[in-house]
Amino acid sequence: MEKESEYTEKKSVHIISDALTALKGALVGTGAILPGISGGVLCVAFGIYEPLMEMLSDPKKHWRRHIRMFVPFAVGWLLGFILLAGLVEQFFILAPAAAVLLFAGLIAGTVPQMLKEAEEAGKTSWSWLIVSFAVFFAWFTWIAQSASAAITPNIWWYFFCGAVWGLSLIIPGLSSSSVLILMGLYQPMTAGIATLDVSVIIPLLLGVLATVTTLSKAVVSLFAKHRSIMMKIISGIMLASALTMIPDTAMTMTQWILPASCMIMGYAIARWMDQAHSGLPES
């Protein structure tokens, strides 16, 4: 009876953990297609980033360690990307400020845990966070204020879209959608995804694969050698990303109610997911 009870408890822990991981994957998949949202930031925010980089850098070596996490995450990502992204995109169209600030809250809500982990990894200067915040805040602001370029999309440009998308996973804070909007590639790319156009989807996936397999080993090496510094640099990037999401359009106090509520809700959800996952016993 004791062994049966222990087995049931472990199974329950696995189910809860897998459900939380799938939810995180769905949020990353949903956010990946939205302007101003960085897939890399969301992966960092939900504790997926380092395992994902390890998995991609050397699948043979790391698949046993991370496969249990990776499968529910991948399932959630696909559900979020294919099923939920359309709904969230409608939310983005109807209430763009509220939608963006929901994700800004999700990102900001994970920074405290990031900083805690940075301190646990070793004492390093806070200047790493300050400099990364300043540099990326200036970059994201410049991207947001730049004008779109006229480009005729084709298979090679969709490969480029995938490469940029891959960079947004490797470099937390880089929003692939924002970059592609500036180049005039975002709308044709999302239209191709929506219609399951293989001439768009295949080069897109190949571009993502080419980028992440090329750069993931370097990221894993940096985390292994300079974990505390990397955590503070990425925390600065995340704060800059969240701050630049705040709309600069004039709104009344009444108009701010929904966006502000969504940001608070996003922050609360992120903190809850952090605490829920950290509160689970080791499986």
103, 266 contact by CB (below 8 A): yes
Note the maximum CA span of the chain: 69
Of the two residues 115 and 175, the one the predictor is more confident about is 115
pLDDT tens, position by position, 136-183: 888 878 766 665 455 678 899 999 988 888 877 777 656 666 567 656
Structure tokens at 283: 């499986």
Confidence (pLDDT) at 63:
75
140, 174 contact by CB (below 8 A): no
Structure tokens at 87: 């709904």
Burial class of 11 by CB neighbour count within 10 A (0 to 12, 13 to 18, 19+)? exposed
Query: How far is Cα 127 from Cα 139, in angstroms, rounded to an integer?
Result: 18
What is the Cβ-side half-sphere exposure of residue 10, based on CA atoms within 13 angstroms? 8
pLDDT tens, position by position, 212-239: 888 877 877 887 788 889 888 888 887 8
CA 260 to chain centre: 21
Where does the chain show beta strands of DSSP type E? none
pLDDT tens, position by position, 56-73: 777 777 777 777 788 888
Between the alpha carbon of residue 29 and those of residues 82, 103, 261, the distances in Å are: 8, 12, 23
Query: How far is Cα 278 from Cα 231, in angstroms, rounded to an integer?
Result: 18
Which residues are within 8 A (CB) of 253 and not within 5 positions of it... i.e. 6 or more apart? none
Which residues are within 8 A (CB) of 135 and not within 5 positions of it... i.e. 6 or more apart? none
31, 270 contact by CB (below 8 A): no
Confidence (pLDDT) at 236:
86
Between the alpha carbon of residue 31 and those of residues 4, 107, 141, the distances in Å are: 40, 11, 19
pTM score of the predicted model: 0.61
Burial class of 244 by CB neighbour count within 10 A (0 to 12, 13 to 18, 19+)? buried
Residue 14 has pLDDT above 90, yes or no: no
Q: Averaged over 80-101, what is the pLDDT?
A: 74
82, 196 contact by CB (below 8 A): no
Rg (CA), the chain: 19
Query: How far is Cα 108 from Cα 78, in angstroms, rounded to an integer?
Result: 24
